Structure 1
Amino acid sequence: MWVLLALALVSINLRPAITTVAGVMGQLHTSFGMDPNVLSVLGALPVLAFGISAPCGPWLARRLGAGRAVAVALLVLAAALIVRSLVPVLLLPGTFLAGAAIMTASVLVPQIVKANRGTGWWIGLCTMGFGLGAALGAGLVQPLQDLMGGSLAWALAIWAVPALLGAGLIHRAGGGRPDAAGPVPAAGVHPAGAGAVPLRRQRTAWAVTTFFGLQALLYFAITSWLAVFLVSKGLGPGGAAALLAWFSLAGLPASLLAPVLAGRPAVLRIMAPGLGMLVALALLGVLLAPAELQLPMVGILGVVQSAGFGLAMALVVIRSAGPQTAGRLSAMSQGLGFALASLGPLGAGLLHEATGGWEATFFALAGVALLLASAGYFAVSGALVSMESDEPDSRILPAYIGSR
């Protein structure tokens, strides 16, 4: 139970570093002296860091154990949040470092869940923690700024406190025995003599990675630019930031329930491709809806987008034959997936600047959502991913968490 509580708190810490900045993007020019032309780069930086730093989690886990590795990552996150906020010239490198720390912790969550024989509820609570953290970051940054005498820097730096609390709790809980999930080589590499097929040659591994990357691309594109889009619709900055928080808050139940429902094979076969189609429809709904209807439309988008993230995290566990494979597939899917996702904020911003409107951006994102539906179909239709010769044969291992 301590491990589950620790994982939930860790998950809450893995989004505010991004959504706090997204919610105040329009203030960065005056508060930090940032050139407006580099805002697209700022939105893409943490996601780019995700893709580059994915191997750090398995590397640390081999040396410290998964729980201690996550604790170290949260300590680095806390330091990055303080430095980037209080030293304006370090906003960009500090944001990159925060993204690297987030990924180091995030990539180990499925491994710890699998090692502790966690069910779909474990994954659901963790994914809900991601959404709750995102909502708190977006929704509280303005009130915190007011509380701190108008200081945006301190309103951003204060998020180091929950990161320190999370580091202490996961270190205490340990995430299971340090060797519970065994050594975790880099994605695509298998131990000598294991006779396993590398991840790069397993179709299901690539399908899961593509699904993870596309849903992350959509998420970060939306969270980076939704507030700016809503202001163009006639909402004030405060109202736009509130709706950005609502986007994350509305999806909390879906992020909890999606991994649980995915444990049922019949539901999973429909859910995996169906969510992509629903995201496409929801994006077009937000684009076309007038300002007074944005509350329900943004809420619907938040529900289907959060369900997609919950399913992406669940697929890493569900489609893995054991904890060691889950760790490798997590590193591959989140590392390569977030590298792909880094194109989301940048591409969305460039399309908006090139066209002067939002229609091309939203139609392009809807097209990405249809590709997500295709990736979901292939992710659930192939064999389980297996990297270890001592793990049960994927043909006889229960393929779904719900069948345990």
Structure 2
Amino acid sequence: MAGTGVAIIQGLAPGIIKRWFPQRVPLTLGLYSASLMAGGGIAATLSPRIAHAADWHVGLGIWVLPALAALVLWVTARPREALPTAQQGPVLNFFGNRRAWLLAVYFGGANGGYTSMIAWLPMFYRQLGWSAQDAGGLIGVMTIFQVAGAFGAPLLARRWNDRRPWLLAALFSQLVGMAGLLLAPQAETAFWIALIGCGLGSMFSLCLTLTLDHLPDARAAGHLAAFVQGIGFIITGLIPYAVGWLRELTGGFQVPWLLLVAIVIAAMVATLRFAPAGYARAMGRI
């Protein structure tokens, strides 16, 4: 039930942002993405500590409080709009649209590093001799820079319709950080993790902005964003399993990190296809 609620909200939120803030989509999406990542990082950090002080029921159950606060805000503070009418049409189907699939696969692959780092980064440094506390603390460092990237990248990119330079910069940041894990994991560790976090945070918000850019109508763009996230998060969830399988197969993390590097390079190549002049032709008739 909790996971379903989270999925529904994440699927609907970008379309709502496009409708409520049509002239400030990048900035608002950046704020939304940064808040999403900050909330996830805070919850992941505090839940074990709360559970240690009380028990795991409290450690998990306490997060009903911000959910209730969000519900109150939604009921009392959202803009008042006309009720939906039948003329708004049915749910839009993007399963036959090649650009929608490209965006979904792009979103899933470009953000797969996040789930992989959450799952495997502490274990990687545990194998290098770090303590559990120090290794786990790297996730906190990554989260801080994720939040900064998620908010900062759309803020910087808001004046340009072409998102490709910023997407490439975010992917390059990931690439350098992952190369650091491959070649010199014990040297400048915080720097590599900061680059990865900044790149991942930037990619999340920029990918959503890119998706909404493809359609001018807020309703259609919202349906597209839901499709992209629905397919994309499945891919994002599968990548850590591939990392774990390669680690078990090879006995180390060199090949898994190479897989993530290859995914980032493939995403950089795919980025070149997202020219704003081609959005309408690529989407075609929905």
Overall identity of the aligned pairs, in %:
22
* Aligned pairs (5 A) from 1:163-202: 163-174=67-78, 177=81, 178-179=83-84, 182=88, 185-188=91-94, 200-202=96-98
Counterparts of 2:125 and 2:61 in 1: how far apart (Å)?
Answer: 26
Post-superposition offset of 1:357: 0.6
Counterparts of 1:276 and 1:308 in 2: how far apart (Å)?
Answer: 7
Aligned with 2:34 (options 128, 137, 155): 128
Question: Is residue 106 of structure 1 aligned with residue 10 of structure 2?
Answer: yes
Q: Is the 8 A contact 1:210 1:337 kept in 2?
A: yes
Counterparts of 1:357 and 1:146 in 2: how far apart (Å)?
Answer: 32
TM-score (norm 2): 0.87
Q: Is the 8 A contact 2:164 2:274 kept in 1?
A: no
Corresponding position of 2:118:
223
Corresponding position of 1:349:
244
Counterparts of 1:176 and 1:224 in 2: how far apart (Å)?
Answer: 41
Query: How big is the alpha-carbon RMSD for the aligned residues of Structure 1 and Structure 2?
Result: 2.6
Q: Is the 8 A contact 2:107 2:229 kept in 1?
A: yes
Cα displacement string for residues 136-167 of structure 1 (whole angstroms, at most 9, x for unaligned residues):
1232234323332xx34532332232222222
Counterparts of 2:15 and 2:80 in 1: how far apart (Å)?
Answer: 10
Cα displacement string for residues 20-50 of structure 1 (whole angstroms, at most 9, x for unaligned residues):
xxxxxxxxxxxxxxxxxxxxxxxxxxxxxxx
Q: Which has the higher contact order (CA 8 A, sep 6+)?
A: 2
- Seen in structure 2, the aligned counterparts of structure 1 residues 350 and 175 have a Cα distance that, compared at 3 Å, is farther
Corresponding position of 1:141:
47
Post-superposition offset of 1:379: 2.7
Look up the equivalent residue of 1:139 and give its one-letter code.
T
* Aligned pairs (5 A) from 1:253-272: 253-265=148-160, 268-272=163-167
Corresponding position of 1:383:
279
Aligned with 1:158 (options 54, 58, 62): 62
Counterparts of 1:387 and 1:318 in 2: how far apart (Å)?
Answer: 14
Look up the equivalent residue of 1:362 and give its one-letter code.
W
Q: Say which SS state the counterpart of residue 213 (structure 1) adopts.
A: helix
Look up the equivalent residue of 2:38 and give its one-letter code.
L
Look up the equivalent residue of 1:112 and give its one-letter code.
I
Corresponding position of 1:369:
264
Post-superposition offset of 1:366: 0.7
Counterparts of 2:44 and 2:225 in 1: how far apart (Å)?
Answer: 27
Look up the equivalent residue of 2:68 and give its one-letter code.
L
Counterparts of 2:207 and 2:49 in 1: how far apart (Å)?
Answer: 32
Post-superposition offset of 1:231: 1.6
**Would you say how many aligned residue pairs link Structure 1 and Structure 2?**
280
Corresponding position of 2:20:
116
Look up the equivalent residue of 2:51 and give its one-letter code.
Q
- Seen in structure 2, the aligned counterparts of structure 1 residues 235 and 142 have a Cα distance that, compared at 3 Å, is farther
Structure 2, unpaired ranges of 5+ = none
Counterparts of 1:169 and 1:289 in 2: how far apart (Å)?
Answer: 47
- Seen in structure 2, the aligned counterparts of structure 1 residues 235 and 292 have a Cα distance that, compared at 3 Å, is farther
TM-score (norm 1): 0.63
Q: Say which SS state the counterpart of residue 84 (structure 2) adopts.
A: coil
Counterparts of 2:106 and 2:266 in 1: how far apart (Å)?
Answer: 9
